[in-house]
Amino acid sequence: MNAIKVDERAKATQSELKQLRQAGKIPGVVYGKNRASEAIAVDAKELMRLLRQGGGGVLDMEMPDDQVKPVMITEIQRDTVNGHILHIDFRQVNMEEPVRTKVRLNYIGTPQGVSEGGLQQIQEHEVEISCKPKDIPASIEVDISRLQIGQSVTIGEISPPPGVEILAEPADVLVTILEQQKVDEEPADKGNADPEAYDGVGQRAEKA
């Protein structure tokens, strides 16, 4: 399990938060069931390292009093201009109670339809699940190697790992193989988004 160390911080004004970020720290809060929220600060470089590794599962948060708490990242706020992280929320979890989170869909194989000239259109890069924290997978694999032109894969056709429930409609389409001549007629949608923009956690962009 990945770990992250945090420091205590006092509630601050906008100018004080700006100074904190300039010092290489990201302000945040940690909250949970039956506990008051606590203002914290995280080393920016350490946080970026964690996010590059996925960051979507359970983390061991090393508290200032040396206690270790299991937490999950619930929200990241970014500057709308430069994309820098402004604030991060963590939620303390009970390892024996189910949680809801999103995980990456890992599409495996080259579709037969693509080899025959079709184009792959991905509708979803992640899916919401419910399970105990210890059962959260790094990703869910979706085999698309046998898809031919005109065929799709839906939520109902994939098998989640044991103990994991997918919280989406079985008929929801994940990926489709389109005929080449029909591509220009398709409206732009989230399936055309850059998959590299996904960092494994929920985000909300806000100005500083």
Mean pLDDT of 150-159: 96
Strand partners, 21: none
Tell me if 87 sits within 8 A of 28, measured CB to CB: yes
Query: Residues 88-99, buried b or exposed e (16+ Cβ, 10 A)?
Result: bbbbbbeeeeeb
Strand partners, 75: 89
User: Is the pLDDT confidence value at 36 over 90?
Assistant: no
Q: Are strands 35-43 and 126-131 parallel, antiparallel or unpaired?
A: unpaired
109-140 pLDDT per residue, tens = 999 999 999 999 999 999 999 999 999 998 99
Phi, psi of 133 (to 5 degrees): -50, -40
61-83 pLDDT per residue, tens = 998 888 899 999 999 999 999 99
Greater confidence, 99 or 190? Answer: 99
Q: What is the dihedral sign for C-alpha 82, 91, 31, 168?
A: positive
User: Is the pLDDT confidence value at 191 over 70?
Assistant: no
What domains are defined for the chain? 3-93 (2.40.240.10), 99-193 (2.170.120.20)
- Name every residue whose Cβ is closer than 8 Å to that of residue 31 and which is 6 or more positions away in sequence: 37, 38, 89, 90, 91, 92
Tell me if 160 sits within 8 A of 126, measured CB to CB: no
- One-character DSSP codes across 48-86: HHHHHT---S-EEEE-TTS-EEEEEEEEEEE-TTT--EE
Greater confidence, 207 or 126? Answer: 126
Two tokens, residue 6: 């945090």
Tell me if 94 sits within 8 A of 33, measured CB to CB: yes
From its phi and psi, is residue 86 left (phi > 0), alpha (psi between -120 and 50) or beta?
alpha
